[in-house]
């Protein structure tokens, strides 16, 4: 199974992806986690990404597409994957479509988590309180920018995937188990 999970910052993409990994034996490909690891290890990509992420902007499409293109080739992706945080704009979606065609991989579904912006800030605040490893982009100013970037660049992907008949919308404001149940129902119908 190959999926994309779409949604604004704090909508629950990471939370639900982890559950999909457990249930379907697929791999979570979180571009945010990959970039944070690269920043921590001070790799070339990490050095380029650090300030961009700190501002809540998007890392360049070339870097991101190359990371994903290499990653989906790895043996652990054989059973499938859930893309969490990628694609992030139309250019990345087009590049993904092209690379999946070339590799003869089928995209099964795109799940969009719909959550009101007022709720997102509270969720990110509580993630900060619960975590010992606070993210450099989890502050009010950067979150504002991350939401603006989402609205301008990522939200148009819903139309893109709707036109391709891949998009399924889920109410991400329900509790975590209910969101998981709604996703399961969608996937069992595929
Ligand atoms: P990324 O790491 O992808 O961050 P994000 O999209 O802002 O999303 P988050 O990780 O903040 O939230 P989430 O939706 O995963 O929610 P979570 O499950 O944690 O990207 C970070 C940065 O990296 C970007 O700004 C950009 O700079 C760069 N980047 C990444 N990918 C890129 C790309 N493709 N191109 C260019 N740049 C890229 O949940 C949040 C909180 O809510 C948690 O505490 C959770 O417990 C709680 N929660 C979850 N679900 C529920 C629920 N149903 N009810 C109540 N609480 C809930």
pLDDT digit string, tens, across residues 140-179: 899 999 999 999 999 999 999 999 999 999 999 999 999 9
Which residues, in sequence order, are CB contacts of 134 under 8 Å at separation 6+? Answer: 128
| Residue 133: pLDDT band with limits 50, 70, 90 | confident
SS3 of 109, please?
strand
- The model's pTM: 0.98
Question: Which residue's structure tokens are 């900060």?
Answer: 128
Interacting residues of 123 by C-beta distance below 8 A, sequence separation 6+? 10, 12, 115
Strand ranges for the chain from DSSP E: 2-6, 27-30, 81-84, 109-114, 167-171
Q: Is 15 in the pocket of ligand 1 (CB under 6 A)?
A: yes
Residue-wise pLDDT for 79-100, tens only, equals 999 999 999 999 999 999 999 9
Looking at residue 131, its pLDDT comes to 86
Residue from 5, 12, 39 whose mutation best tests the ligand 1 pocket (most atoms within 8 A of CB) = 12
How confident is the model over 23-64, as pLDDT tens digits? 999 999 999 999 999 999 999 999 999 999 999 999 999 999
Q: What are phi and psi of 160, to 5 degrees?
A: -55, -45
Map tokens 């329900």 to a residue: 174
State which of 123, 147, 172, 174 you would mutate to test the pocket of ligand 1, scoring each by most atoms of that ligand within 8 A of its C-beta. Answer: 123
Verify whether ligand 1 is closer than 6 Å to residue 120 (CB atom). no
Residues in the chain: 190
């Amino acid at each position: 199974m190959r999926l994309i999970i779409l949604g604004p910052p704090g909508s629950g993409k990471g939370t639900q992806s982890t559950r999909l990994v457990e249930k379907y034996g697929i791999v979570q490909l979180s571009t945010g986690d990959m970039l944070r690891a690269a920043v921590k290890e001070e790799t070339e990509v990490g050095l380029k990404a650090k300030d961009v992420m700190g501002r809540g902007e998007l890392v360049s499409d070339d870097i991101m597409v190359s990371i994903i293109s290499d990653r989906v080739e790895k043996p652990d992706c054989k059973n499938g994957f859930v893309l969490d945080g990628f694609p992030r704009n139309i250019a990345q979606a087009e590049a993904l479509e092209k690379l999946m065609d070339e590799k003869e991989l089928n995209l099964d579904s795109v799940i969009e988590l719909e959550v009101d912006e007022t709720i997102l800030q509270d969720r990110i605040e509580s993630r900060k309180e619960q975590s010992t490893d606070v993210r450099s982009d989890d502050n009010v100013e950067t979150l504002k920018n991350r939401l603006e970037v989402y609205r301008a660049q990522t939200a148009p992907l819903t139309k893109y995937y709707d036109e391709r008949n891949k998009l399924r919308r889920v109410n991400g404001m329900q509790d975590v188990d209910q969101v998981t149940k709604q996703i399961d129902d969608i996937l069992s119908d595929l």
